[in-house]
Amino acid sequence: MNYCINPQCNNRQNPEELDFCQACGNTLLIENRYRIVRPLRQPQPSHPTEIFEVEDWGTGLEDWGSLKVLKVLKYDNNPDLVRLFKQEARVLMWLRHPGIPRVEPDGYFTVSAHKSSKQLHCLVMEKIEGKNLEEWLVNHGKIYQYEALDWLQQITEILDMLHSQNLLHRDLKPSNLILRPNGQLTVIDFGTIGVGDWGTTKIGSLGYAAPEQMTGEAVLQSDFFALGRTFVHLLTGQSPMNFPTERKTGKILWRNYAPQISPLLGDFIDELMNPVPQRRPKHTRFILKKSQELSQKIAEQTRAPTQIQVYFQFFLLMLMGFMGLGFILPKIPLLIQNYIFPTIDKNLTNIGFEQYQNSNLGRAKFYYQFALKFNHENAASYLQLGLICESRQDFGCAKTEYQQAIDSAVSRNNHYVKVAAINNLSRLQIWLDGNSKIAIKNLTLGLQLMSELQQKYPGNLTQGIESNLHKNLGWAYFQKLNYSQAQSHLKTAIQLNPENAPAQCLLAQVFEEVPTNRDKLKKARQNCIEIESTQNPETNTWKNLVRQRLQSRE
């Protein structure tokens, strides 16, 4: 389905094969590049902007056939709206952060509707997968303490970048925060962004905007007020507008609706929302430091004063899902750790894995880190923490965790985790560092360990790992222009697992470099595109490359 960009069109839906709208004659290929797939927000005549999902058929490899978001300002007769729209475009073009939607330099443009003198202002940005936190709350309910501390850290890091550039967001609220499947929070809707002279416009959302912001006197601390109000909503499951207000102080009375949090965290959120800007934190660095201190203090609050209390506290909290359990390990004698609780760290790791499978990365991280308090050589927890770091695009952290997993697996003779960590670390070394030589050495060691693994874990489990080892070896040899070795390892990877889409994509690239049967090249390309997989960033690039090559031949 192709959707018409013209807001005055009477019938905006069109069959996919048309190039011009059947109702108004407007072109359906915007800027000779974008096709509107569907509205992401129900069009409202009174609303100045519309939001669409679009397909990008530009010339860039990363863009080829990808889905993006198109924001359209319908009216060009309001100078303030046009100014804010252009300001949003400029800000998003120069900002680069995984928590902010990416906009390329050519992402802003204007188009004219068919037979109209009105200009439509357009902004194309990265499509963020996931749900906004207002929608998320409907399905998951209010958040817990460890999620709040994790999210507070993430959002503040994004604000830190904005404030360092003399920018205010001015509209923080749950609906403007998207939780990606990898657990990374992204701030969206920069239509009210303040640049330089923040306090000249009365702007913001009721219930979240600071009092001084609503009178046109915004300051840096105005974003902190909205941050606090956002966490009131997340921790209680209710809009801040629903709570009564203290007559003398102006503070909202919300704490009884969030019994799951420590008074320390509640006090800090109240500090963020202080009606007086000067009584809020002075800058983002203070909030980041304070949130780290809170994590430590809240954990220390759960320490028991005696060993017997620890014993009963542990089992009570285990029945409750370990909620609120902190750093009690120093209170437990080594004898109890080794003989009475020998599987505690494994159980915690298993719980963390369940949370990871459900995309609850904040909770998963909590259990993995707690497992390591009971056993600092729990290689599986290091491995999973590496996956969390990688999914949040913190690749330095991922490398460190994978190396810890390898080192711990050696001491515990855990070949399965060691091979998996070697495979993941080598992939990052090839992709990020271009270090094929060290990757080949490590991957070869991983393959040497496979014979023992296959005896212990027969079946598809080890086949999948072995297939990925060969895929990454093929990739490393391809980077070194050793096409015969690359082809050999990639074919082995596909033989072990025909659904290994990255191996199929790489094999297609190898076939392009060496004389080969055209049918083989065609089949590899087709498999690359059609096989679905949990895709790493490089796999997306390879699939787009194949699409571009196929399109250029049509």
**Residue ranges of domains in the chain, CATH in brackets:** 2-126 (3.30.200.20), 131-299 (1.10.510.10)
pLDDT reported for residue 81: 84
Per-residue pLDDT, averaged over 58-71, amounts to 75
Q: pLDDT tens across 262-293, in order? A: 899 999 999 999 999 999 999 999 999 998 88
Q: Where are the alpha helices (DSSP H) in 449-536?
A: 450-456, 460-479, 483-496, 501-513, 518-530
Residue 385 scores a pLDDT above 90? yes
CB < 8 Å & 24+ apart, contacts of 299-308: 299/326, 299/327, 300/326, 300/327, 301/262, 301/264, 301/326, 302/326, 302/327, 302/328, 303/327, 303/328, 303/330, 303/331, 304/328, 304/331, 306/331, 307/331, 307/332, 307/333, 307/336
Question: pLDDT for 248-265, tens place per residue?
Answer: 888 899 999 988 888 999
pLDDT of residue 191: 63
Radius of gyration of the chain, Cα coordinates, nearest whole angstrom: 27
Distances (CA, A) of 434 to 76, 395, 400, 475, 509: 48, 14, 18, 10, 17
**384 half-sphere exposure, CB direction, 13 A CA radius:** 29
Distance CA 417, CA 424 (A): 11
3-state SS class at 115: coil
Residue 281 is predicted with a pLDDT of 94
For position 513, what pLDDT does the model report? Answer: 87
- Judged by DSSP in three states, 446 sits in helix
What digits encode the pLDDT tens for the residues 96-132? 888 888 888 888 999 988 777 788 999 999 888 888 9
Name 42's Cβ contacts closer than 8 Å, sequence gap at least 6.
Answer: none
Cα 25 to Cα 1, 18, 21, 44: the distances in Å are: 16, 10, 5, 22
Q: Which residues of 147-185 are buried (b: 16+ CB within 10 A; e: fewer)?
A: bbbbbbbbbbbbbbbbbeeebbbbbbbbbbbbbbebbbb
* pLDDT at 338 (0 to 100): 42
Phi (first) and psi of residue 484, to 5 degrees: -65, -45
Q: What is the pTM of this model?
A: 0.59
**Placement of tokens 């920069």 in the chain:** 190
- Single-letter code of the amino acid located at 154: Q
Phi, psi (deg, nearest 5) at residue 428: -70, -35
> Is the CB of residue 535 less than 8 Å from the CB of residue 55?
no
Asked if pLDDT for residue 474 goes beyond 60, the answer is yes
For 8-19, write each residue's pLDDT tens digit: 888 999 988 888
Confidence of residue 194 (pLDDT cuts 50, 70, 90): low
pLDDT grade for 551, boundaries at 50, 70 and 90: low
- How much of the chain exceeds pLDDT 70, in percent? 84
Q: Kindly state the average pLDDT of the residues 337-356.
A: 69
Six-digit token string for 203: 């702007």
Q: What is the pLDDT of residues 484-503, one digit of tens each?
A: 999 999 999 999 888 898 99
pLDDT, tens digit (0-9, with 9 covering 90-100), for 388-416:
988 887 888 899 999 999 888 865 557 78
Q: Identify the residue with better confidence: 20 or 433.
A: 20
Q: Give yes or no for residue 327 having a pLDDT over 50.
A: no
